[in-house]
Structure 1
Amino acid sequence: MSGIHGDYDMGHTVAGWTGVGIALTGFAGAGAALCAAWLPGVWIGLGVTALGGLVSWALHLAGWGKPSGVRPREQWDWRVKDPMTGHGDCLGCRLAGRRAGSAARGPAARRPALVPAHRTAALAQADRTPA
């Protein structure tokens, strides 16, 4: 059965499995509450299901997820924590305001401060130094 997918990264990550576990628990709880005709339990279960998605996203942003698409084989290990700088083409990273490689460029890649020509050199230097 393991050879059915060939040599493909299925994306097993801590973020993915934790989110699925929480969502499955919420879904099962909502189903049990529905069978017991307990309406508040249905809403609680649906809330736990939604919480699973939020927990998965938070763990992804904390570095326990994976980028969209196929990863190289050396990154298949669940301990690889690479999204700290944001994944390219990743909806979760874009929703969080992360751009792929934005933190990897570091402070040296910042744009230089624009200073009007009439300012003195001392004031221009004061504008460029970080506070």
Structure 2
Amino acid sequence: MSVHGDVDLGHTVAGWTGTTLAGLGCTAAGAGLCLGLTWGAWLGALLLVAAVLGTWILHLAGWGKPSGPRPAGQWDWRVRDAGARHGHPGCVGCRLAGRPGAARGTSRAHRSPVPRPLSGSPVGAEDGPRTARVPAGR
């Protein structure tokens, strides 16, 4: 178990690269504006564009991740996404790149199961109480 608990935080090569470039771009643009250096503001703007394009390219190359949680074996930031070649369902970046899985809403990547209510009627059903039932023994 990590410091953050047992969750998938989505740390990926694409994410770290994009965050670093965007941080440097904001710093350069802010310093350029405060100091009155036009070239500093333009350098920051170029770094922000590089952050967007670099993150997108790395995501398409498999160094990002699909939306939603991943299986625990793929939580390490150095693991490549095997389903990136086919496109992630609902992914704007994959759709812009013309990936077939993004357009159809299908992918060969791992899908996590949909959570189900503990017992009784589904949550939000009109015929029952709106509280979740807890199984005996918990």
Would the TM-score normalized by the shorter structure come out above 0.5? yes
CA distance in 1, matches of 2:8, 2:91: 16
Q: Paired residue for 1:100? A: 101
Q: Paired residue for 2:89? A: 88
Q: How many residues align?
A: 102
CA distance in 1, matches of 2:90, 2:6: 23
CA distance in 2, matches of 1:100, 1:73: 23
CA distance in 1, matches of 2:59, 2:72: 19
Q: After TM superposition, give the deviation of residue 90 of structure 1 in Å.
A: 1.5
Residue 59 of structure 2 aligns to which amino acid in structure 1?
H
* CA radius of gyration, larger in: 1
Structure 1 unmatched ranges of 5 or more: 105-131
- Identical columns (%): 49
- Decide whether the 8 Å contact of 1:30 with 1:44 is kept in 2: yes
TM-score when normalising by structure 1? 0.68
- Decide whether the 8 Å contact of 2:17 with 2:55 is kept in 1: yes
Query: Which residues in structure 2 correspond to 1:28-43 (within 5 Å)?
Result: 28-43=27-42
Q: Do structure 1's residue 11 and structure 2's residue 4 form an aligned pair?
A: no
Q: After TM superposition, give the deviation of residue 43 of structure 1 in Å.
A: 2.1
- Decide whether the 8 Å contact of 2:89 with 2:107 is kept in 1: no
TM-score when normalising by structure 2? 0.65
Residue 10 of structure 2 aligns to which amino acid in structure 1?
G
Q: Paired residue for 2:124? A: none
Per-residue CA deviations over 1:74-128 (Å, capped at 9, x if unaligned) read: 2212223321221122121111111328896xxxxxxxxxxxxxxxxxxxxxxxx
- Decide whether the 8 Å contact of 2:61 with 2:85 is kept in 1: yes
Q: Paired residue for 1:51? A: 50
